[in-house]
Amino acid sequence: MSAPAIVLLVVFLVVPFVLSIGFAFTDQRLIPNPNLPTSFVGFRNFVRLITDSTFQRALRNNFTFTLVVVPVQTALALAMAMLVNTRVRGTNLFRTIYFSPVVITMVVVSIVWYLLYNPDQGFINRTLRTLTFGHWPNVRWLQSTFWALPAIMILSVWQGVGFQMVIFLAGLQDIPTELYEASDVDGATRRQKFFHITLPQLRNTTLFVVISTTILSFKLFHQVWVMTRGGPQESTMTAIVMMYRQGFQQGRVGYASAIAVLFFCMVLIVSLLQRTVLKEERAVD
């Protein structure tokens, strides 16, 4: 019964990954040239990659994006989950509203926000000018080397926070109510309940949210490609965007494969470090 799924995983995941490892040590091209056969180049692609200033800039952008988006998105998701976890009228409506951006594809979201960020006719600049009585400058969000990456961060948090909210909501509803009832008897405040009951009980949930959000943050591609193509002046360049450019636009499959392999190793190391630091709470026999 599992054979079809296994075959699909092998064909579309395992085989391409193995091939990319092999291509990383060659000068493979996207369109083979009979006059220039593919040859083994050893670690030349990796050596060139480490000294590539574009790749260094892409890694800095990736880590900056992750260091900002992961904690902000996690904190907002927890706050929203606690808000919609209360038993008040309209809770289901708010849950739907908060989660709706998740089901919209990132390409569509990026196009909409590209229009919102328009410096002249965009909703964001117009609203800010109205609120400041015309004193807000005409910010060119996606054309500025300073604002482009923060603008993409805001979009990414808005689109993805609903998914983490649902995960936290499931964790909150799994906390035994007896713990809160006992704390009420002891006269605990809301702050004490949050830090001594809610957060410890959400340890494993938080671990999952942080690791999954980190992996998704490192895979940053769609919103950058749709909105800025890595510009201006590589201020939003990421490793995946660079890999796509090298592999599909410039036809350097070997070099793009080296980017993929090195980037995979880095994300794996970061994920393992996170798992080590944020150890899962084990049940005590």
Dist CA 159 CA 156 (whole Å)? 5
Token pair in block for residue 41: 């180049």
Token pair in block for residue 174: 């799994």
Q: Is the pTM of this model over 0.95?
A: no
Q: What is the pLDDT of residue 66?
A: 94
User: Which own/partner contact pairs does 167-170 have at CB distance under 8 Å and 24+ positions apart?
Assistant: 167/77, 167/205, 167/208, 167/209, 168/77, 168/78, 168/80, 168/81, 168/82, 168/202, 168/205, 168/209, 169/81, 169/84, 169/85, 169/95, 170/205
Q: Please, what is the average pLDDT of the chain? A: 89
| Best CA proximity match to 26, nearest among 43, 11, 14, 1 | 43
Banded model confidence at residue 275, pLDDT cuts 50, 70, 90: confident
Residue 36 located in a structural domain: no
Banded model confidence at residue 278, pLDDT cuts 50, 70, 90: low
Whether the pLDDT of residue 78 is over 70: the answer is yes
Q: What is the pLDDT of residue 283?
A: 44
**What number is the average pLDDT over the span 134-158?**
92
Tokens 């904190």 locate to 75
- Taking the alpha carbons at both ends of the chain, their separation in whole angstroms is 36
pLDDT in tens, 26-54: 999 988 777 778 889 999 999 999 999 99
Percentage of the chain modeled with pLDDT above 70: 97
Whether the pLDDT of residue 284 is over 80: the answer is no
Number of domains forming the structure of the chain: 1
The CATH number assigned to the domain holding 88 equals: 1.10.3720.10
pLDDT in tens, 180-192: 889 988 888 889 9
Q: What is the pLDDT of residue 75?
A: 95
Residue 256 located in a structural domain: yes
Token pair in block for residue 35: 């006059």
Residue 95 located in a structural domain: yes
Residue 204 located in a structural domain: yes
Say which DSSP state 248 is in: I
Residue 216 located in a structural domain: yes
Whether the pLDDT of residue 279 is over 70: the answer is no
Query: By CB neighbour count within 10 A (0-12 exposed, 13-18 middle, 19+ buried), where does 121 fall?
Result: exposed
**What number is the average pLDDT over the span 239-258?**
93
Token pair in block for residue 221: 């591609």
Neighbours of 256 (CB within 10 A): 25
Q: Which range of residues forms the domain containing residue 196?
A: 52-277
Whether the pLDDT of residue 57 is over 90: the answer is yes
91-95, 113-117, 129-133, 213-217: range with lowest mean pLDDT: 91-95
Residue 77 located in a structural domain: yes
Dist CA 67 CA 18 (whole Å)? 30
